[in-house]
Structure 1
Amino acid sequence: MSVSAADISMNGSSSGLAVDQKRLETLHRPYQDFRRRTEAGGAWRNLPLEVAHHFRRYYFFNPPKWRVWARTLGSGDRMAPSFASIGAVRSGTSFLSSYIFQHPHVVLPLSKEISFTETMRELMAHFPTLAAQRAAEQRNGGAITGYCTPVMPNPLWIFLAQSMFPDMRIICVLRDPVARAFSHWRWDQKRFISRKTQDPHWKGFPDFETLIEAEKATIRGGGMEPHAFSGARAGYLRHSIYAPFLRLLFEKFGRDRVFIVDAAEFFRDPRSTAKEIYAFLGLPEVEPLVIEEQNPGPPGKLDDGVRENLAAFFQPYNEDLYALLDRDFGWGAAR
């Protein structure tokens, strides 16, 4: 993780709180761990990484099941999440979480991403105990917890979250639909698709342009689109159609309990966005440290013709979103 000395020296705030450098190291380690485990070759070379993985303080997703199970056997008195930070896959949810979780009042869960399909006991096992809350309050003057999960566009999450934690605040990051869809494809291509297409059974798997044309046709015809390998059980384009999900989110939680993040603005000035989120969550002022993105996607360039084609497809969906939010993100504008 790259954090300059100047950043550290500027980290004071009127509240007297400051980001702990060790917290940043804790947040960074799971991503480093994931890359090393993914790239390690051979069982013996991978074994030390696998052993260390089972005893991490914090994970960004999929903690070992035995860790969750063990925590269900411990104290049932755990902090309820005060917030959830959500978005579609490849919208910047992981990068944003590193800024939210920097705040000294935020007590880390076991994992950044928590599956909402688990039982209530398993879900709550991810959150800190009330003893950890009291310790954090004594140390820093306050304590909340939450989680950051790319759940869009699955509406089921809204119903379950509202029934479990009706007072929770929601931070929702939205990224340019074309850029997000292509980034999602590149991520799946590297992590999943390239491995499968080595098998003869998968030799007919379509390329990006062919796949999105099929998805466009099924969306317009009311059929079932081909699913992405990661994220919700929806297609690459469906993940970028935001308004239906947000309408239901506003209905269940209230518009005033949802903070919308423009991913482009956040990428340009993450500190300012982080401080706006701290205020939204009722947290005292803290100057966040600028960090490098922890979970970048593989490189790739989208053909200009395909980009224009997708921009035209998304235009009516974007206009629907702009009307809903009374905010124009400028997606599809000339570059």
Structure 2
Amino acid sequence: MAKVAPRVSFIIAGVQKGGTTALFDYLAEPGVALSTVKEVHFFDDESQNWGAPDYDAYHARFGPPDGRPCGEATPIYVYWPGSLERIAAYNPAMRLIVLLRDPVARAWSHWKMEYARGAETERFAWCIREGRQRLFDARPWGHHREFSYVERGFYGEQMARLLALFPREQVLVLTSDALREDPGAALAKVRAHIGAPIGPAPARREVHVGRQMDYPSELTAEDVAFLRRIYATDQARLRDLVGFSFG
């Protein structure tokens, strides 16, 4: 099929449990055109024929073009193999936004979400240690949509892949703490990055806060130290790439 002209100009590409839902909600104002659902899950769709992808199906998740910056937020894109490459093939001029959260806090929040959903039944300590072996039985090999508590936190590796595909000026990296503590300043940076008019500072909000229930685990000092050791080399790589790191 002939390539369809790209209509989507920006994507919030990561990370899961990093504040992407809040950012998507903040952007829901007249100067920006958003997808009809927050997470479109097009570029991570392994049922697509990526030799001839159906971009018409992708565009059907958006309203008619009207000149406004147009975008979506699917936070698995920065992690899922092939997604960033597919985005680059669709629109090499795409503006990317990545929200990063301390990877230890992100992993803990991710586990709580999957446990509350019923997708996870094991304790957190087991999941971040022995449970990582489950990813080697997954397809694509080494990746999993639910059980990737540790793997989604290798931000240095993910940002290196992203920056090999897109010029640095097309990529805005923020922390979830910055969005939470000063949403007005963070949103001004996002709007400038995607070419949207600068609006008034929004009221602070919290969305997708973890469900209150009895979890079979607590985040222990031993778990934190274990994850810090795992992430140490990757965090140094992240600092070299974007100028900051966690922990």
Q: TM-score, normalising length from structure 2?
A: 0.82
Confirm or deny: 8 A CA contact 1:185 1:236 kept in the other structure: yes
| 1:129 and 2:45 correspond | no
- Does residue 190 (structure 1) correspond to residue 116 (structure 2)? The answer is yes
Correspondence 1:280-295 to 2 at 5 A: 280-295=193-208
Structure 2 equivalent of residue 114 of structure 1: 40
- Give the CA deviation at 1:250: 1.2
Partner of 1:276: 189
Task: Name the counterpart of 2:125.
Answer: 209
Query: Which amino acid in 2 is paired with 1:208?
Result: F
Paired letter, 1:243 = G
In structure 2, the residue corresponding to 1:166 is in which secondary structure? coil
Secondary structure in 1 aligned to 2:96?
strand
Kept after mapping to 2: 8 A contact 1:215/1:235: no
Larger Rg: 1
How far off is 1:143 after superposition? 1.6
For residues 289-314 of structure 1, the C-alpha deviation after alignment (integer angstroms, 9 at most, x for no partner) is 21422221225751222112212221
SS of 2:227's equivalent? helix
- Which amino acid counterpart does residue 324 of structure 1 have in structure 2? L
- The answer to whether residue 240 in structure 2 is matched with residue 323 in structure 1 is yes
Matches within 5 A, 1:52-201: 80-102=7-29, 104-116=30-42, 117=45, 119-130=54-65, 133=66, 143-151=68-76, 152-193=78-119
Q: 1:303 to 1:228 in 2, by over 3 A?
A: farther
Letter in 1 for 2:115: Q
Distance of 2:114 and 2:91 partners within structure 1:
32
Per-residue Cα deviation, 1:20-45 (whole angstroms, up to 9, x for no partner)? xxxxxxxxxxxxxxxxxxxxxxxxxx
1-structure distance, mates of 2:74, 2:111: 19
1:109 CA drift (Å): 2.0
Between the aligned partners of 1:181 and 1:215, the Cα distance in structure 2 is: 13
Root-mean-square deviation (CA), in Å?
A: 2.4
Residue 107 of structure 2 contacts residue 150 of structure 2 at CA under 8 Å; is this kept in 1?
A: yes
Q: What is the rounded CA distance, in whole Å, between the counterparts of 2:198 and 2:13 in structure 1?
A: 23
1:283 match: secondary structure: coil
Task: Flag as ranges the 4+ runs of structure 1 deviating above 3 A.
Answer: 215-219, 224-228
Question: 2: distance between equivalents of 1:79 and 1:216?
Answer: 37
Give a deviation string over 1:255-286, Cα, whole Å, max 9, x none: 11000011111111111100111111222221
Does the CA-based 8 Å contact 2:183-2:202 persist in structure 1? Answer: no
Aligned-residue identity in percent: 25
Cα distance between partner residues in 2 of 1:253 and 1:101: 26
The residue type equivalent to 1:127 in the other structure is F
Amino acid at match of 1:126: R
1:79 Cα deviation (Å)?
7.5
| Aligned residue type for 2:10 | F
Aligned partners of 1:78 and 1:127 also within 8 Å: no
Q: CA shift at 1:185, angstroms? A: 0.2
Matched residue SS, 1:272: helix
- Decide whether the 8 Å contact of 1:79 with 1:127 is kept in 2: no
Deviation at 1:215, TM superposition (A): 4.9
Instruction: Please say if residues 105 and 143 of structure 1, whose CA atoms lie closer than 8 Å, have aligned partners that are also in contact.
Output: yes
Structure with higher helix content: 1
Q: Give the gaps of 5 or more residues in structure 2.
A: 49-53, 136-140
1:218 CA displacement: 8.7
